[in-house]
Structure formats: structure tokens, C-alpha cells
Structure 1
Amino acid sequence: MPHPLDSFFAPASIALIGASRDHEKIPGRLLAMLRKNAYPGKIYPVNPNYAEIDGLACYKSIADVGAPIDLAVIIIPARTVLAALEQCAAAGVKNAVIISSGFAEEGGDSAAMQDAIAALARRTGMRISGPNAEGFFSQVQRVAATFSPAVDVKPGVVPLVATQKRIGIVAQSGGIGFAYYNRAKALGVAVSYVVSAGNESDLGAGEFLDYMVQDASTDVILLFIEGIRDVEKFIAAARRAAEVKKPVIVTKVGRSGAGERAAASHTASMAGWSAAYDAVFAKYGFIVSNDLDEALTIAAVLASNPLPRGDRVAVVTVSGGAGIWGADAVALRGLQVPELSESIQAGIRTLMPSYGTARNPIDVTAQGVTSGGLQKSVDLLTASDEVDAILVVLSLSSEVRMPFSEPELKPLLSAQHKPVVFYSYTLPSDFARRELAKSGAVVLSGLTHVGVTMRQLVDYASFKLPKPVDETRLPARDLSAYLTSPVLSEADSKALLRTAGIALPDEVLVKDRGGLDEAIARAGFPLVMKVQSPDIAHKSEIGGVRVNITTKGEVFLAFESLLNNARKHRPEADIQGVLVGPMAKKGVEIIVGTMTDKTFGPMVMVGLGGITTELFRDVVYRPASVSVEEAGAMLAGLKAAPLLNGFRGAAKADVAALAQLIADISVLAARHAGEIAEIELNPVLVHAEGQGVTIVDALVVGRN
């Protein structure tokens, strides 16, 4: 089925607006790159100052071309771009790439010019990439619509190609996108597309991702993003990638942040600048990498190997020390390096000298290379069901000798039974890279990156897209009557949650001493008392909480003490009274919350709760809403997960009830995203299995 961007990435004709004869300048390099890469379509240079450029007729304006044009590449001064686009639209040009800079990145009037470009795209239907873009490269179609030197073709140089599968690269930085391509070429990883999104006046990273997901020539996707503008398209493309199991490796920059998020709740204040991005990546199974070489290593292994069926790794080496190092690299990432069965070991021992070892890591020694023991050991392990992946650790510095023979290695790798990863602890020679490439093997030279990659492959192989959310459990209710102030007190927050269908303990808000007897009768002893004010979010910090009260006398004394503490520490606060309720049974303290991200909207969070919440920051976020199944996966992702699963002989906690609460709160947050900015339940006490959960404290923040 055709895609709307087919004519963008595979244009039959290209107009170069601002073309030049000077190959040292960007406009001239654009034409040179197209021709060096043997672009098969028609090229129309447009520049009123020339009659011809490099043997091609040059036109005064796009209107003079008089032929259908799929793509216009524009490199002229910023102030003249809009008029050129109007002429392109009038001439029926389908797509445009604006290389020119000087738009929103400068602010002021320049930003207004970019807004006008966006409006033109909406009005005319012409698809526009940029401005301030580095263009794109379609390797399969030989379209080098970029000035990047990474796509330059050197005469007589035969490209290194090790993979049949191709990676597609989408980058919000042209320099980094083509850096990925540059390094992929050096590894022998085939590429389908490299596209630089620029300022995204019209086409954005989400739409480019969508193209790569549906593109049959793209098998793995590399994303480099600063921020997503076309959010709905991005999310839809991310979901499709997960559905068709097409790996997406993402690097998100801008994680450090120059300031702090202003927020009333722990939920939002702990979110950081990229928590929502990481939550979206996790939901759709993206592989996150914050290092350029690491990302390329992951892409290279995915492009040359099947996914593993489990986490058991065999390490095969020609050097004992290097083999141990390789085993450490994967074991430190939580993968298993199991001792092999006696039958497998016996088979391997016949292939090596007596001073080798067959246990795992397997050291066939340098002699095992010359005798063919290395190749035969890999053959045996590939056929064995005792391991799920093989890491080959060896020296590939030789310019003349190869440890494998192509006729034996190529069929083994082509069969794609399990991943076979090649790591050279010496700098690999060009000879070795090219010889192994003939068999479909990529040579890697960063052991830490190899360890991370093998872990990521195991995790990606087991990823499943979460099931749809059941939104029918919670009744649809009007909550506007509770949201009369920006920050709700605990009592008001709990009243809102009760109305929404969330189960809470029976508590009474007491405004004067006369109401205490009734409150005691309802709560029973032992009980807890907490001062209530929308202006006091963290009550314990001002002496506003009393717990484990067991006598009527203590209740009356605590009532006065709590009010006095509130007036003393927060004289300006609006005091509603004191909330009286039963003491909860013991349980694991968990925080459940929601916050609103400016890009992706409502997020739900769960973490280790209580007063140490911000100390340990053991939290997991996901876009709201989530299913019970996904909530369970969030809990499994906590470092504190063992506390819920019967740590050191304790009773197993009611994880099912907690997962249901997380799901319900997430549905509530998503349903009322226009009214509620934050929800925080802290702590939620998770009791023994089958005994449910108790929401001890609650905070709701309305949208301003």
C-alpha cells in the first residue's frame, strides 16, 4: 500500500532551488552529492543567475521547469524561502526540503516566517521538511538530497556491507543523523534512509518514524530526538512498531534540564525532564541508548542476528583472559553464562588442546583456531539447546589470516538459529571486517557495548505490547464540584476519589470538639488524626499528624494540639479541621501518583512510598492509562519489587490489589486530564496477599 511520503523519499524528479556551480559551497554540494550517488531521476537546477550548471539546463524559476516535480530542495536566504514555496505550490511540487537556516531557532520575526511555512503546508497540502534541515539520504533509491560529506562517494572505494537487513535513521539533528550513517558504514551495517527533521515546521520525527515502520526495506530504526512535536503521529507509529515487532533504538538528549519542575506532589517533582519520554519508550518497547557507539552496536547486532529465545550465553574465545572478560561483560548485565553439560563439553574437548577449557567460557586457545576448533565449537553451540546466544571473543588484527572460513560460517549465520556476536579485543583490520562481512558478520570492538546489547536483545525479545485498558470499571462521574481550588486538602482529595469509585477508609472531618465523639464511634481505636488544609501539603513536617491514638482523652488533646501546630507554623493557612480515621494495618509503603507532562499528557507513577520516597527515587512511570497487566509490569520494574514478593520470609503482599489501584488511578487521570493535573496517594499500604491495600494519604491538584 503506498505511503504519502513515497514521493518524498523516492522522488522521480528533484528541483534544486538556489543551485550553484561552486562545489565548495552547500548549494553546489547538493547537486554534486546527487550525481555522485547516481540519482536515477531528473534534476532541475533553479537559479536566475545561470543558464546551465554542470551540463544541466538551469531555470530562472520553478514555474519555468514545466515538468512534474516530486521534490524541491531549497537553499536560498531565509527571507526568500516563503515566496519560493508559494511558487512551488503553484507549480504542483509535492514535497520540499528547506536546508536554509534562520527561522524559529533565531526567534522573533524569523520564528514568524517559520509559522508562515507551516500555514502554507496546511493550506496547500505540500509536505515540507525543515527549515534548518540537513536533508535526507535514501540509499536504496540513491537519493542524496543532502550536503553531508557522509554520503560522499570516493572513486574506487568498495563499500563494506555485512548485513542484508537495513537500518533507518531519523534524527532531529542532521549532524548526528549522518554521524550514525557514517559509523554504520564503517561497521558494514546497511542503511535504508537517513533523514534530518530540522525545525519540523510540517513533517516531524513522528511522521518519519511512521514511514520507517511501514517501509519494507527498513528492518531496524534508529531515532535521535530532542523533543517530539507531532505527538499523536509519534505514538501511533510507536504502537505500530511494537505490533509488527520492528526494533526502535532511541537516544533522547536534553535529559539534564536547566531548572526544576515546579510541582506540589512528589509524583511530579521526581519526574525529571525526560521521565515521560522514558515512560513512552518503555510502553512501546523502544530500546533506549544514551551513547552513539552503543546505539550503533545494538543496531548492528539486530541487523545481523535473530532475537534470542532466552538469556543463556556461551562465550567462545582464543584467549582465556579475554574469554573471562567477555563472560563478565554479559554476566554483569544479568545474563547467564551456564556451565555446559558433560556431553557438550566432551564434544568441544575433542576440538582443542588439553590446556583449553570447555566449561563456558570456552577457551579453544590459539591452536584451536588453526585446527578449526573455533569454527566447530560455534557449530556445536549453535545446534545446542543449552544456550540462547553465542559471544565470540577473539583477535582480528591480522591482515592475512582468518579464524573462520566463509563456506562454513556463512551457512551457519544465514540459518539465523540464534545470535552469534563477534567481538575483537584487538583493533579489527579492514581485511578481517571485509572477510567476515562476506558471511554476514559484523565485527564489534567495544566490550561494554556488547554486554549492553546482548542484554537489550533479551529484553526486547520478551517484550509484549500491553493489553488494552478496561475503562468500564470506574463509573464516569462529574468531579468538578470538588475542584474549586488548585490544591485540594487530603479530606477533599479523598472525597473526590470516593466519588470517582476509588475505595478508601471511612474517615470523618471534624471541625470542632463537638464532632469528636461521633468520629471516635465511627473510626474505633486505635485511630489517626490529621490536620486538614489545602495550603498544607506535607502535614507531618509541621506536626500535623498523630497516630496510634488509643483513648478518648488522647483524642481531645490531639485535636487542640494539631490545630495549634498548624496555626503556629502556617498562620496564613485555611484550616478546615481534623480528619479522624482508623489506623491502617501494617503493609509495604508504596506511592501511587499521576502527573501531567506538557508533551505526552497524563502519566501514572508507582514507587517505594512513605517519607523515603524522594530519598530513594525508586519509581516507574507510564503514560496513562494502563491496564492491570501493565501496572503489574511497572511494579516488577521497581528495585523494591522484592519487598512486595515476600522479602526475607515476610508474607507476600497483595500485588494484584495494588496493580488494580494503579490501573484505576491511571484511568481516572486520563479521563479527567482537562481538570486534574496531579494525584498522589502516599503512602498506600499494601497488606498481605488477599487483604487488599489502604490509601493512607491523598493529594489532588487541579488544573490551573
Structure 2
Amino acid sequence: MHTYPTRPGLDPVEALESIVRPQSVVVIGANEVEGKLTSGSVRNLLRHKYSGRLYVVNPNRSSVYGVKTLPSVADLPEVPDTAVIVLSAARAVQALAECAQLGIRTATLVAAGFGEAGGAAGGAATRQALVELLEQTGMRILGPNTAGLFNVVDGYVPRAAHNHPADLLAGRIGVVAQSGGLCNTLVNRSISSGVGIAMAVSTGNQLDLDLWDVGDYLLSQPSVDVVTTIIEGFSAPAKFVEFAQRAQAVNKPIVALKLGRSEAGRLAVATHSGSVAGAAEVQSAVLRDLNVIQVDELDELWEVASLITRWGVPRRRAHRLGVVTPSGGDGAIVADEVSRVGLSMAELSPGTCEKFGQIAPEVTPANPFDTQAALAVSAPDSLSGQIAAVAGDGGTDAVLLALPVLATEGAVASLGPHIEGLRASGQRNIAVSAWMAGDATSGAVGVIRETGWPLFDGSVRAVRAIAHYDGYARRCDQLPSISADSVRAAAGDDAPAELLTYWAARQLLADLGVPFNRAVLAGDAETVVRRAHEIEFPVTLKFSSNAFTHKADAGALLQAVSDDVTIRDFADSALGRWPVHAADEGVTVEEHVYSNLPVFIGGHRDAEFGPVILVGLGGGFAEPYSDIARIPAPADAGQVRRALDTTTLAILLRKRRGAFDAIVETVAGLSQALHSDPAIRSFDINPVLVRDDGSIVAVDARVERRSVGG
């Protein structure tokens, strides 16, 4: 049995410091087989001029790419800061044990074969052997099944894969992804678009160090201003919450692409990495609550990050957009997209219009401002002044220079007045879009990149990125409702639950402040008829039981009845089918409420993130329209108000005096109750009806509680 140095494992930041920026490294198992992962690490370290001490262990070769090899780990002249192991899975475990014996404390494991879906036989046993080795030695690893990392800032690129540019462009963006392929694709796309990267790490199967560990490390780096991440699954949701809150504390935004938001995508994620993909809608609500910028496409990661690195961390809104373009058609495209994503076109002030009158009396000031290409040739000084006036308008938060295809030298030269005017405006937030067309636009792209302004392939992509930037600024001062403690408290709560009877559900929710319609419970047909007259016709009848979830489907509901015969027949039938066994069972006789505006309010405990409140259009509209806001609990009235304002329902509620505030108050109270009482597993109140006078009344409810003794 091996004996290892008895030392505690490094904390994740210390471990990653040695993995990402070592002064010395050993690559174990490297060779010169071109195109294979076994040759990549040494080749890339030399290719990108690693300045530290490089050792190679391979007993079957005398050298690898000119680096003299050693026969074993034990023959190393020093204890390197870290190891990169490119051996097969079974041999990698043995090599890792030898590293631990020597005193090496961290390693990157490239090999797959540790029990992944579809992996080789014996993978589970190899995985278990690796887990036990890590527990015994305190070693920290990146991987297994990772292509490695880029540290462009320090020139340390031990990636096993070969498929990245020979010339890496340094920037201030940190990247972390589970998928090595997508991590590499993101780096390649970003750099080819002129946007540099500081560090990029793929975590692979993340048997030890995971996305959130690497994310925390990137946040700690002075060279990183923004962290972009590709998320397959929230395997440690509380750690993610802490990571996101630290990002806010250190003023470094997170831009995230969450994979597996469709059913097919969730299956693909599980197949690829074994990640559990939870409810996409809840995940998006949590990301929004924590002010993580969630994007829909891979390229949006670096596009939004480029705005942040060049405009600064969003603290000031970029809501009112000024547009300068030599193409009126492109200006119309911008205006349409601005409306779609919730930005606004800046309205030029009287002072700006007066400047136009002095500079070019024949030009009508407008936004978008169509500069007309001919003006760049005939009156460049006048044009630059006009552009400066638009961009410098006090009502403009950001400016987009929207360019069509610039295919001639003359057209490229016409950029001069545009650039001069924008620079003269003093506007900080300037972006440029150009409809890329290969060689036809390469000249213009070169000119624009020299300005240092963020450049986008087409105006639509530019507007979307600006909208994400603006959204972050809008949310940056809003405190999150979710906390790591609440997420931890929700984990592992799998005690059995039971459905309450309808009457018990009403009583519980009424005690929590939900206003219900008048109702009584009766246990025999004659009492039902008598109570119906006391309530006043028409009435609604329901059978209170926990034997069914959907009363209408079970025949346990009769609405808006006004005659004794029908009431008695329903009561006799229901009581015959479902005898009364408890005080909260029987026929409820209720006031029938008329309304054409139903609201749905619900709550449940998400498996990843704990209690979540739902509110939106209710009744039969809830499922087909999916006009639902999801809010992590506990949420205060302000948080509920902001979430509700993202729905169509908010527009309808505001048309009835007091209704919006009444719904907000009710939802906020239920949010606090769901958070503070873990016995409540879920509830649905559908519908809550909004009367014409703005008052609200709930007319149906369902509650699931933890079973007694559960």
C-alpha cells in the first residue's frame, strides 16, 4: 500500500493558481504523434513560449519536441508546481499516485474513461480508484476528460488539443466551460473577431475542481474584468449562488450560456457530461435574480463581454440609443430591434437640433441619423460635426455606428468623418456594427478595430448586446432574493408529501393573507341546499377531498348553479361517491365570482434552487400562454413588482385600479411564507379573479405539504 505525504488539500484558488500559472510543470506521457492529445501539451507550451521550467516524463522516448525526457516522475530534479497527465485513464491514476508520492499537489487529467456515459468498460472502477486517491492524498485536479486551459496573459498554454490560433490575442475576458470543444470554439471565435481572452479553462468531468471553483479563481485575477461561462448543469447550486454573489461584490459581471433549456437539450447535456439539467425557467429566474447576464448564443458571450471590457462594468444605463448610419435601411433595422429588446431610440434635444441648424441647415436632425454616404465625400467637416452633435446629445446613453457593406477603398475612406465625429462627441459608449462580407469588408474592419470600439457582425447583434449591457446596469443595485443558505436548506429534502383537501388548502392560504370568496363546508345534501341560500345564488359547488387533483375532471365541481334540485342532486351524487371521513371533507358551497381577468399564483420547491414563486395569467390561459414570471423566494414587493412587469398580465392589471398592487402584496406574502415554512411543498391558486373595481378574490386552491412525520 502506498504512503503519501500527509498534507491538507489546497483550497480551490490556491490549487488553480498552481494549475493555471505554474513556474514549473511536468507533462507525463507526452509524445510527438501529430494531431493526438498526447502531443498537444508540450507542443503548445513551446509554441506559445512558456517561460517556466518544463519537464517531460516518457520512458519510451529520449526527447519530445526537443525537450529531453525523464524515465519516471521520481527522476524529476525538483517538485514541479503542477502536472499535466496525457496518459490513458488507468495509467493516469498510477501517474497521479507517483506525483503525490513526490509531493506534487495538483494536476490536469486529459484522459476520458472515468465512467462517462458510453465510456469503456471498467470506467466506473477507474473513477472510484481516482476518487479514493484524491481523498487519500489531498491532491487537487482539473478534469478528467479536459482539453486543458489557456493562460494568454502569462503565455502558459498547456492545452492537449491543437485546434486554436497560433497567435493568441490577450484581453480581459475570463472563460470557463465544462465542454473543451465549446471552450475552444468560444476562444477561437472571440480572437478571430478581434476580442482578446485573458484565461480560458475547460473543467471536463470536474471530478474535483468545478465551474464555480474556476469562476471564483477568475474573479480573483487582476487581469480579468468579466467572466463568461458555458453551463451544462448546476451540480452544486449553492456554490454557484456564492460565485454569482462574489462577482457582484468584486464588480465583475458574469455572462452565461445555459445549455439544455429544451427537453432535447437536457437529454443531450445528460448524455455528454452526466449533468442534471433542472427546470430551465427556474434557472433563468435565478440567473436574473443574481444579475448574471444570460445569453442565447455562443457568440453573444464574447460580444457582451467585449462591451463590458471596453465600456466598463455596467453601472450607468445604456437604454437610450443614438444611431448614426450611412444606410437608412440599416437604421430601420436598428429601430425595429431596439423596440423588440426593450431599448429606446434617444430623442434629440432642442440644443442638438439647434446645432444642426448651425452646421447644416439643409439637414433634418433625426435619430437614426442617416449620414448619407455622399456627404462624407462632399462635406466631411460638416458631417463629422453633425455626428458629434448626435452622439454628444445629453439624452443619448450609447451610440451605434451602423455600417452597410463597405466594399470599395472610397467607402472605407468615408469612415474618417464618422470616426472623427464620434471621437469629438465625448461619448463613452460607442459601438460599431458592420455587415461582414469577407474580403469586401476586411478594410473597414481593420479601420474600426484600430479605434478600440466594440465591433459586431450586423446591427441586430450589436443591439442585442447593448440590451444585455443595459439590463445588467438596471439590475445592479437590486438585492437578490435567493441565498446560498436557502439553496442548501432545500437540498436533499425528499421526505414524502401529501395533498391537502380543498377546504384545508383554502384555510391554510387564507391564514397567509390570500383573500378567498365566501364559502362554507357541508356534510349532507340538506345542509348544502340551506347553505346555498345563505350564500345567495348563483353558487359554485366543489367536493373537498385529497383523492383527486383536478376537481372538474373527477366530476367534483359544479359552477354557477341557482336551483335547489341541481344543488341537491350534485350533493347526493358527490357524497355517495366520496363519503365524508374527516372534518375538512365534504361539499363546499361558494359565492360564484364573475371576472374576465384570471391570475395564477403558485409556489414550489425547485430541486436545485429551493422555493420559487410563480405568477401570471391564470385560468385556462396559464398553460397555453405561459405568461408566467418566476421569482426565487423570499422576494419582497419590489422584486415581485419587477418580475411581474415582465409579463403581459401586468399591463392588464394596471388597467384596474389597485389590482396590480393587490397581486404584488399577496405574492410577496406567499413568497415569505413558502421560504419560512419548509413543510409547504407546493401550492397553486388558480384562478385569483380580478374584479372590475380592482379587488382580487381567490376561488380555487391546491396545497401539498410534507407528510406528518416526514
TM range (shorter): 0.7 to 0.9
Displacement of 1:296 after TM fit?
A: 3.2
Alignment RMSD: 3.7
Q: Secondary structure at the match of 1:278?
A: helix
The residue identity in structure 2 corresponding to 1:434 is G
Q: In 2, are the aligned partners of 1:170 and 1:223 still within 8 Å (CA)?
A: yes
For the residues of structure 1 that align with 2:424 and 2:12, how far apart are their CA atoms? Answer: 33
Q: Secondary structure at the match of 1:358?
A: coil
For the residues of structure 1 that align with 2:520 and 2:671, how far apart are their CA atoms? Answer: 26
Query: Aligned runs of 1:304-703 on 2, under 5 Å?
Result: 304-306=310-312, 307=314, 309-341=317-349, 343-348=351-356, 354=362, 357-370=364-377, 371-394=380-403, 395-398=405-408, 401-404=412-415, 412=423, 417-424=428-435, 427=438, 429-464=441-476, 466-467=478-479, 486-497=498-509, 507-513=519-525, 515-516=527-528, 527-549=539-561, 555-563=567-575, 576-584=585-593, 586=595, 588-646=597-655, 651-673=656-678, 675-686=679-690, 691=695, 693-694=697-698, 696-700=700-704, 702=706
Displacement of 1:139 after TM fit?
A: 1.1
Cα 1:442–1:633 change in 2 (3 A) is closer
Q: Secondary structure at the match of 2:400?
A: strand
For the residues of structure 1 that align with 2:251 and 2:645, how far apart are their CA atoms? Answer: 22
In structure 1, the residue matched to 2:5 is none
Displacement of 1:373 after TM fit?
A: 4.5
Q: Secondary structure at the match of 2:451?
A: coil
The residue identity in structure 2 corresponding to 1:330 is V
Normalised by the length of structure 2, the TM-score is 0.83
For the residues of structure 1 that align with 2:31 and 2:616, how far apart are their CA atoms? Answer: 59
For the residues of structure 1 that align with 2:125 and 2:437, how far apart are their CA atoms? Answer: 54
* Gap regions ≥5 residues in structure 2: 1-10, 268-276, 484-494
For the residues of structure 2 that align with 1:62 and 1:372, how far apart are their CA atoms? Answer: 69
Q: In 1, are the aligned partners of 2:165 and 2:188 still within 8 Å (CA)?
A: no
Q: In 1, are the aligned partners of 2:539 and 2:591 still within 8 Å (CA)?
A: yes
Superimposed CA distance per residue, residues 678-701 of structure 1 (whole angstroms, 9 cap, x where no aligned partner): 321211234578845536322326
Q: In 2, are the aligned partners of 1:330 and 1:454 still within 8 Å (CA)?
A: no
Displacement of 1:176 after TM fit?
A: 1.0
Q: In 2, are the aligned partners of 1:592 and 1:604 still within 8 Å (CA)?
A: yes
Q: In 2, are the aligned partners of 1:309 and 1:388 still within 8 Å (CA)?
A: yes
In structure 1, the residue matched to 2:147 is 134
Superimposed CA distance per residue, residues 132-168 of structure 1 (whole angstroms, 9 cap, x where no aligned partner): 11111111111112133354425xxxx677xxx6211
Moved more, 144-153 or 551-560: 551-560
Counting matched residue pairs gives 665
Cα 1:14–1:152 change in 2 (3 A) is farther
Normalised by the length of structure 1, the TM-score is 0.84
Moved more, 64-73 or 345-354: 345-354
Moved more, 173-182 or 602-611: 602-611
In structure 1, the residue matched to 2:216 is 210
For the residues of structure 2 that align with 1:345 and 1:500, how far apart are their CA atoms? Answer: 57
Q: In 1, are the aligned partners of 2:48 and 2:156 still within 8 Å (CA)?
A: yes
Cα 1:437–1:94 change in 2 (3 A) is farther
**1:144 maps onto 2:157 in alignment:** yes
Displacement of 1:469 after TM fit?
A: 5.6
Superimposed CA distance per residue, residues 205-264 of structure 1 (whole angstroms, 9 cap, x where no aligned partner): 122222233332222222212212122211111122234443322212222214999xxx
In structure 1, the residue matched to 2:55 is 44
Q: Secondary structure at the match of 1:438?
A: helix
Q: In 1, are the aligned partners of 2:83 and 2:107 still within 8 Å (CA)?
A: yes
Displacement of 1:53 after TM fit?
A: 2.7
Cα 1:128–1:111 change in 2 (3 A) is same
For the residues of structure 2 that align with 1:638 and 1:55, how far apart are their CA atoms? Answer: 63
Residue identity (%): 28
Displacement of 1:131 after TM fit?
A: 1.0
In structure 2, the residue matched to 1:60 is 71
Displacement of 1:587 after TM fit?
A: 7.6
For the residues of structure 2 that align with 1:513 and 1:628, how far apart are their CA atoms? Answer: 44
Q: In 1, are the aligned partners of 2:634 and 2:671 still within 8 Å (CA)?
A: yes
Displacement of 1:609 after TM fit?
A: 0.9
In structure 2, the residue matched to 1:474 is none
Displacement of 1:525 after TM fit?
A: 5.9
For the residues of structure 2 that align with 1:316 and 1:84, how far apart are their CA atoms? Answer: 60
For the residues of structure 2 that align with 1:417 and 1:286, how far apart are their CA atoms? Answer: 23
Q: In 1, are the aligned partners of 2:516 and 2:697 still within 8 Å (CA)?
A: no
For the residues of structure 1 that align with 2:201 and 2:31, how far apart are their CA atoms? Answer: 23
Superimposed CA distance per residue, residues 647-681 of structure 1 (whole angstroms, 9 cap, x where no aligned partner): xxxx22433332233233333434454x5443212
